[in-house]
């Protein structure tokens, strides 16, 4: 029986994906424990620490899929960790060579290295999703490069932008995330093999040689020093997911606001029944955006927990290490869920350019009051131009009408600016600044990362 949204029959594919859940599945984790134990035996045989025949037996006979999982669960509850119960069973599988299983290792070596393998698989999925999302965002930025819309600050119309400009900002965030992910891999995907107190004392002079051979077998980075209580690598991985889902939450927030009836500029892809209300037939709720935002909040909690878990005692931790067992799977599954929803939502995003144009004209030219002020400033000075245009804006706000008509009726303005120039200055489409060129810059920069 599932009791959380991550495993719920009802909710699991809303808040996660089957592919990411498979990475953090119990049985897959135990397979990775066995994989690490086998890699250790092979490395030790290569370095002359244990007989080659023993390593061969361990590699051929130890099989995670034939373990007694009920017994493993029962003994894990007693011991507090799964590795000693696991070693009991795979040592039996290895027969006469079983005494060489887990030679010189400690529980945390096996668990940390297995989690590093999980992180590698999980980051591969995240990387693929980000690559696909960047392609979607690049397409939106390119297509709507010159589509004018109201830019908003403090939830008020500010100055015109283009929808492509907005999408380019989203794309640029994910270009940076792609770079962060590539840069984090060598720091994060590092194995662990250091022994009871981290000094590899049980292997005498062979410890570092075995460590290197083991990481080569696992295709993980070789640690420069023991990281039993130096948890910045794993914390970086989860906080990177926090950054990624934070950006997804920002996009989701924008889409939800712009999809409201009062804006009506964007809509999530239409799927019959999706976002429907049980009482209001007209509703079309932005479900993917809502899920993205919820996942982002969940990952943020895990990121904070990982930072807290970095504060560990002495050479081997007590409770802080255990907190990672909660945070890491949850963060990856929720991040995968958010990325999946984003790919669906943005991949089929419906953009209502006519609504954007209507909203841009909503203030009858007030949105480009700055343009008129800058056009008038060379003739009467910036401050006086500001005051004149401010008075005109007050007239429009209080009495209605178009800003261009009010300005043309003001002698201080009409005597200095041609009416046709005022019409051009009060057309929002003529005051986009460098927004289209910024789109081009982002697209060119993004293409270099591919």
381 or 184, greater pLDDT: 184
pLDDT band of 279, cuts 50, 70, 90: low
Q: How far apart are CA 376 and CA 233, in angstroms?
A: 57
CA 310 to chain centre: 21
CATH 1.10.40.30 intervals, the chain: 366-426
With 90 as the cut, is the pLDDT of residue 31 above it? Answer: yes
Over residues 421-440, the pLDDT tens digits come to 888 888 888 888 899 999 99
Please report the pLDDT score of residue 331 as a whole number: 95
8 a catalytic residue? no
pLDDT band of 272, cuts 50, 70, 90: low
With 90 as the cut, is the pLDDT of residue 190 above it? Answer: yes
Topology of domain 366-426 in CATH is Ribonucleotide Reductase Protein R1; domain 1 (1.10.40)
156 or 255, greater pLDDT: 255
Task: Give Rg (Cα) of the chain.
Answer: 30
With 70 as the cut, is the pLDDT of residue 273 above it? Answer: no
pTM for the model stands at 0.90
Q: How far apart are CA 128 and CA 344, in angstroms?
A: 14
pLDDT band of 404, cuts 50, 70, 90: confident
Tokens of 191: 């194995």
User: In terms of Cα–Cα distance, which of 159, 158, 152 is closest to 431?
Assistant: 159
Running DSSP on this structure, what letter comes out for residue 286? -
Average pLDDT on 15-19 reads: 91
Q: How far apart are CA 61 and CA 184, in angstroms?
A: 35
- List the beta strands (DSSP E) in 167-316: 266-267
Among 3, 154, 225, 278, the active-site one is: 154
Please report the pLDDT score of residue 278 as a whole number: 45
Least confident interval from 77-81, 172-176, 317-321, 331-335:
317-321
With 70 as the cut, is the pLDDT of residue 395 above it? Answer: yes
227 or 136, greater pLDDT: 136
Over residues 376-388, the pLDDT tens digits come to 778 778 787 788 7
Please report the pLDDT score of residue 284 as a whole number: 67
Among 277, 322, 414, 445, the active-site one is: 277
Q: How far apart are CA 54 and CA 39, in angstroms?
A: 12
92 or 157, greater pLDDT: 92
CATH 1.20.200.10 intervals, the chain: 12-144+162-357
154 a catalytic residue? yes
User: In terms of Cα–Cα distance, which of 94, 81, 77, 78 is closest to 33?
Assistant: 81
Percent of the chain with pLDDT over 90: 61
Q: Which of 321-325, 411-415, 436-440 has the highest mean pLDDT?
A: 436-440
Please report the pLDDT score of residue 178 as a whole number: 96
Please report the pLDDT score of residue 276 as a whole number: 45
Average pLDDT value over all residues in the chain = 89
Q: What is the CATH number of domain 12-144+162-357?
A: 1.20.200.10
Pair 150, 157: CB distance under 8 Å: yes
Q: How far apart are CA 31 and CA 24, in angstroms?
A: 11
With 70 as the cut, is the pLDDT of residue 274 above it? Answer: no
272 or 69, greater pLDDT: 69
Question: Residue 156: CB partners within 8 Å, gap ≥ 6?
Answer: none
126 or 228, greater pLDDT: 126
Q: How far apart are CA 150 and CA 148, in angstroms?
A: 7
């Amino acid at each position: 029986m599932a009791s959380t949204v991550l495993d719920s029959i009802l909710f699991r594919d809303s808040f996660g994906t089957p592919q990411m859940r498979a990475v953090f599945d119990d049985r897959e984790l135990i397979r990775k424990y066995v994989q690490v134990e086998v890699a250790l035996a092979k490395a030790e045989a290569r370095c002359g620490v244990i007989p080659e025949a023993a390593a061969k037996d361990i590699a051929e006979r130890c099989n995670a899929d034939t373990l007694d999982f009920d017994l493993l669960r029962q003994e894990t509850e007693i011991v507090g960790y799964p590795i000693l119960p696991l070693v009991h069973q795979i040592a039996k599988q290895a027969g006469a060579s079983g005494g060489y299983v887990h030679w010189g290792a400690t529980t945390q070596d096996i668990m940390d290295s297995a989690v590093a393998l999980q992180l590698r698989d999980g980051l591969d999925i995240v990387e693929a999703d980000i690559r696909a999302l960047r392609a979607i965002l690049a397409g939106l930025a390119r297509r709507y490069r010159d589509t004018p819309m109201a830019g908003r600050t403090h939830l008020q119309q500010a100055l015109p932008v283009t929808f492509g400009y907005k999408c380019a900002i989203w794309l640029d965030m994910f270009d940076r995330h792609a770079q962060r992910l590539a840069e984090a891999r060598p720091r994060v995907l590092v194995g662990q093999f250091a022994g009871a107190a981290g000094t590899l004392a049980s292997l005498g002079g062979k410890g570092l040689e075995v460590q290197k051979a083991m990481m080569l077998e696992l295709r993980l980075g070789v640690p420069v020093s023991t990281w039993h209580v130096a948890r910045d690598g794993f914390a970086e991985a989860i906080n990177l997911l926090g950054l990624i889902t934070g950006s997804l939450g920002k996009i989701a927030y924008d889409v939800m606001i712009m999809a409201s009836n009062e804006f009506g500029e964007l809509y999530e892809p239409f799927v019959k029944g999706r976002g429907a209300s049980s009482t209001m037939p007209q509703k079309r709720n932005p479900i993917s955006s809502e899920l993205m935002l919820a996942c982002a909040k969940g990952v943020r909690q895990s990121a904070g927990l990982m930072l807290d878990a970095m504060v560990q005692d002495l050479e081997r931790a007590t409770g802080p290490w255990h907190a990672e067992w909660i945070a890491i799977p949850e963060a990856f599954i929720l991040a995968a869920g958010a990325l999946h929803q984003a790919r669906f939502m943005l991949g089929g995003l419906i953009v209502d350019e006519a609504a954007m144009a209507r909203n841009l004209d909503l203030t009858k030219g007030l949105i480009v009051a700055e343009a008129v002020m800058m056009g008038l400033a060379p003739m009467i000075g910036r401050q006086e131009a500001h005051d004149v245009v401010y008075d005109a804006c007050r007239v429009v706000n209080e009495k209605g009408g178009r800003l261009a008509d009010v300005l043309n009726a003001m002698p201080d303005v009409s005597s200095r600016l041609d009416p046709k120039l005022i019409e051009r200055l009060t057309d929002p489409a003529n005051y986009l600044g460098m927004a289209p060129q910024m789109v081009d810059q982002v697209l060119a920069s993004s293409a270099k990362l591919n």
